[in-house]
């Protein structure tokens, strides 16, 4: 009889704990496309940006990594600009809105895609 009472008590405790935990709201991760934080990298080396043209989704942070030399990253329209970068330095900019964003190195390129320049294309994934 005592064994049966202990078993019932144990099952009641386990059941009660299960009911209590299911009644509490659980933390969930929002896995919608808009909640996904993405990151893309552009390498700066040999007086060029690689890739020269990069297509990303809105909400993506682009990171430029200087692999040698004295460079900068400056939007043609002035919407973003890095400090002077040297080997090992990084610059990041988050692109929230769709569009085409041309940029250049202030030391080795010019607006309009001349010499050391690149483009970030931001568009929603289908």
**Residue spans per domain, the chain:** 37-122
Radius of gyration for the alpha carbons in the chain, expressed in angstroms and rounded: 26
How far apart CA 89 and CA 69 sit, in angstroms, is 10
Q: How confident is the model at residue 126 (pLDDT cuts 50, 70, 90)?
A: confident
User: pLDDT of 47-80, one tens digit each?
Assistant: 999 999 999 999 999 999 999 999 999 999 999 9
Quickly count: other Cβ atoms within 10 Å of residue 60's Cβ.
20
Q: Residue 125: what pLDDT?
A: 79
Average pLDDT, the chain: 81
How far apart CA 37 and CA 48 sit, in angstroms, is 27
Say which residue, 63 or 35, is predicted with more confidence: 63
Indicate the class that CATH gives domain 37-122: mainly beta
The predicted model scores a pTM of 0.70
Would the pLDDT of 27 be above 80? no
Would the pLDDT of 25 be above 50? no
HEC letters along the chain: CHHHHHHHHHHHHHHHHHHHHHHCCCCCCCCCHHHCCCEEEEEEECCEEECCEEEECCCEEEEEEECCCCECCEECCCCCECCCECCCCEEEEEECCCEEEEEEEEEEEECCCEEEEEEEEECCCC
Would the pLDDT of 3 be above 80? no
């Amino acid at each position: 009889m005592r064994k049966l009472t202990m078993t019932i008590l144990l099952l009641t405790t386990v059941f009660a704990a299960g009911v209590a935990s299911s009644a509490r709201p659980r933390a969930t991760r929002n896995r919608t496309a808009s909640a996904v934080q993405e990151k893309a990298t552009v390498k700066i080396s040999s007086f060029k940006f690689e890739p020269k043209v990069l297509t990303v989704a809105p909400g993506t942070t682009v990171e430029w990594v200087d692999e040698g030399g004295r460079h900068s990253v400056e939007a043609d329209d002035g919407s973003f600009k890095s400090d002077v970068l040297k080997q090992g330095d990084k610059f990041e900019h988050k692109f929230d809105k769709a569009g085409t964003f041309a940029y250049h190195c202030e030391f080795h390129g010019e607006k309009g895609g001349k010499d050391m320049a690149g483009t970030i294309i931001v568009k929603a994934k289908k």
